[in-house]
Structure 1
Amino acid sequence: MKIVKLLFILILFASCSSKENHPYTFYYWKTHLKLDQEEKKVLDQASVPYLYTRFFDIDKTGGKFLPVGTITKDNSFKTDKQIVPTVFITNQSMFCISAEEIRFLAKSIHELVQKKAKEYHLKINNEIQIDCDWTAGTRDDYFKFLKELKKISGKEITCTLRLHQVKDKNQTGIPPVEKVYLMCYSTSSPLENSNKNSILDVTTLKSYLSKLEDYPIKKIEVALPIYSWGIVTNHLEKHKLINALSKKDLENSGFKKISDHEVEIIKDGFYFGSFLSKGFRIKVEEISNEQLKDVIHFLEKKIPHFNIIYYQLDSKFVSNRNF
């Protein structure tokens, strides 16, 4: 009897202490493809055999669709991972778009993806991911575009899914894809006056995703933030962003510490490539490993097994991370 009880306790302990191991990889979101030694090392250790790589953006200007920030490639960009081409499309590009324009856009995107893959000898897989913050007003035409891109390319078409598109799914609709990538960041605007972390406020995220288990598309991968930035506020309470700042960057004799993540500039000068005046404030927003663990634990209760794609692969962001 004692042996049975002991076995039961051991089994119970093992089940309570077990941790799901989520395969992971990264987004690569730079216009010029290159990898330093730290990035190569971290990417090689990633357990998912793909690297989600932004190829270009699409915007509509003067009634014409234009590729923006098309990638170039450095010789240092070498990896055994298969490349998943990712294309960002502005929501305004989907307003008042005709059937002919949908066909043109799908054909143009497919051809440009193929051209860049061939030009830079990129080993792409059978997927194209589309990133668009579609809304209730653009959903129908955006969904038609996704179907057309699948038809023209013959590829598996996937798309990103933002928090509001989960919460307001009755208004924004369900995209016609078999797999989505849930973007667990950008919970608010960094250019608003707020005490919340605009990259990721876990309480806000949990509120938006309270009914995630009811989302009709069951194949959901998870994108998590590891990036950081600094929000500069001037005398008029206007804001601008400086990418990739961390708390360590606030250790400067020209700064006066206001809080753990914020300083006031006490000496005019050039800081982080910009001239900043005395009295300006800099607030750093970054994401801790504890916050990421909290989000992962929450999502494990909502959706079945998922892969994690960290945004983004950059030596500034991957150092001192436990993936």
Structure 2
Amino acid sequence: MKFSETEKEVLRDNSVSKLYVRYFDIGLHPKTQNPFPISPIHFQENIHGFEIVPVIFIQNKVMLQQKLDIKDLAEKTIHLITEINQKNKINCTEIQIDCDWSLKSKDNYLKFIEQIKKLSHKKLSATIRLHQVKYFKKTKIPNVDSGVLMFYNMGSITPDSLNSIYNREISERYLKSLKKYPLHLNYALPIYSWAIHIRDQKVLGLRSKMDFATLKNDKNFEQISSIFFRVKQSNYKNGVYYEEKDLLKMETISAENLKEMAEDLSENATQKPKEIIFYDLDEFNLKNYEKNIFKQTVSCF
């Protein structure tokens, strides 16, 4: 992890003192099917001066394992977090667990949270999805100090014109449930974009680090609508093969979207959030916004 000058400038301009940092993911080993850490973080610069919250993303399939040794997994998770902290002289007071748990994985997940709480002796937060807010009596609420509502990835990734990152109509189906949700929530808002690669009306995958300017300046692509580009001639771009007539659907979040999200959340919540988190800090994402967008968005709450 290393900040660019642009990223440092945005952090300074917005007086950011707290960073949520993805430490590692937990998945299943392809051979043994045992839980194992994926891509642990390497800090390439001194991040003192910031309060760091380690974020651990757990794939739901880990929690679906029927014979999962929850205590062992919690111990190994805490051990690796501690190891990274000691190596980088980080003294964290909070850990965040990110998992889109389901009804089938709920019991394992809730037990895992209990173990992490017991072993870490730290403040604990968990990511919460919209469906977990609306149906909390079924999905249950993890025993954490606070939740972070991930106000993005609302729809399915499809070849049609709907935006899967943010869709106001979809969000409105869930927003009224915020008033009844018993756990204090902070909010995470999206500032990323991607392109959906489509061939013959089938989605081939998500293409990150792709924006309008990149495609407009590439003679192999032509813009055919406000969000769609067509491949004019077969080519390779960033290691991906694009066949003639393939489509790229751009999904972005505008400054207006961010303010709209903030206003909708503010209108429907009973409590003010203590924090607004923007996902994620990346020079590629930041260049799509005016400098003051973050302050403007936060002022809506």
TM-fit CA distance, 1:302:
2.1
Whichever of the two has the greater Rg, that structure is 1
Q: 2:185 aligns with which of 209, 214, 220?
A: 220
Q: 1:66 aligns with which of 36, 39, 62?
A: 36
Q: Distance in 1 between matches of 2:20 and 2:226?
A: 34
Deviations 1:124-182 (A, max 9, x none): 42110000000111112211111111111111111000111112222211111120000
Q: Distance in 1 between matches of 2:41 and 2:278?
A: 20
**Equivalent residue letter for 2:38:** V
Q: Distance in 2 between matches of 1:261 and 1:186?
A: 18
Q: 1:233 aligns with which of 153, 175, 198?
A: 198
> Are 2:72 and 1:104 aligned?
yes
SS of residue matched to 1:284:
strand
Q: Distance in 1 between matches of 2:160 and 2:180?
A: 31
Q: 2:138 aligns with which of 171, 180, 194?
A: 171
TM-fit CA distance, 1:279:
0.8
SS of residue matched to 2:202:
coil
Deviations 1:267-301 (A, max 9, x none): 12222332212111111110001111111001112
Counterpart mapping for 1:126-145 below 5 A: 126-145=93-112
SS of residue matched to 2:55:
strand
TM-fit CA distance, 1:221:
0.5
SS of residue matched to 1:230:
strand
SS of residue matched to 1:73:
coil
Q: CA RMSD in A?
A: 1.7
Q: Answer yes or no: is the 8 Å Cα contact 2:230–2:248 preserved in 1.
A: yes
Q: Distance in 1 between matches of 2:9 and 2:16?
A: 14
Q: Distance in 2 between matches of 1:163 and 1:236?
A: 28
Counterpart mapping for 1:4-83 below 5 A: 33-61=1-29, 62-75=32-45, 78-83=47-52
Partner residue in 2 for 1:84: 53
Structure 1, gaps ≥5 residues long: 1-32
Counterpart mapping for 1:263-282 below 5 A: 263-282=229-248
Q: 1:198 aligns with which of 161, 164, 168?
A: 164
Q: 1:289 aligns with which of 252, 255, 261?
A: 255
Q: Distance in 1 between matches of 2:138 and 2:20?
A: 28
Q: Answer yes or no: is the 8 Å Cα contact 2:51–2:92 preserved in 1.
A: yes
Q: Distance in 1 between matches of 2:64 and 2:202?
A: 33
Deviations 1:200-228 (A, max 9, x none): 112211212221110011x2110000000
Which structure has more relative contact order (CA 8 Å, sep 6+)? It is 1
Partner residue in 2 for 1:208: 174
Deviations 1:74-127 (A, max 9, x none): 23x53521110000011111124558x111111111110010111123x34211
TM-fit CA distance, 1:60:
2.5
Q: Answer yes or no: is the 8 Å Cα contact 2:159–2:198 preserved in 1.
A: no
Partner residue in 2 for 1:301: 267
SS of residue matched to 2:224:
strand
Q: How many residues align?
A: 286
**Equivalent residue letter for 2:55:** T
Q: Distance in 2 between matches of 1:238 and 1:308?
A: 32
Q: Answer yes or no: is the 8 Å Cα contact 1:242–1:272 preserved in 2.
A: no
Q: Answer yes or no: is the 8 Å Cα contact 2:159–2:203 preserved in 1.
A: no
TM-fit CA distance, 1:48:
4.6
**Equivalent residue letter for 1:56:** F
Deviations 1:208-265 (A, max 9, x none): 2221110011x21100000001111123623211102111122132222210121111
Distance change >3 Å, CA 189–CA 176, structure 1 → 2: same
SS of residue matched to 1:72:
coil
Deviations 1:42-63 (A, max 9, x none): 1223345210000001113334
TM-fit CA distance, 1:195:
1.9
Q: Answer yes or no: is the 8 Å Cα contact 1:157–1:177 preserved in 2.
A: yes
Q: Distance in 1 between matches of 2:15 and 2:172?
A: 27
Q: TM-score, normalised by structure 2?
A: 0.90
Distance change >3 Å, CA 79–CA 262, structure 1 → 2: farther
**Equivalent residue letter for 1:164:** H
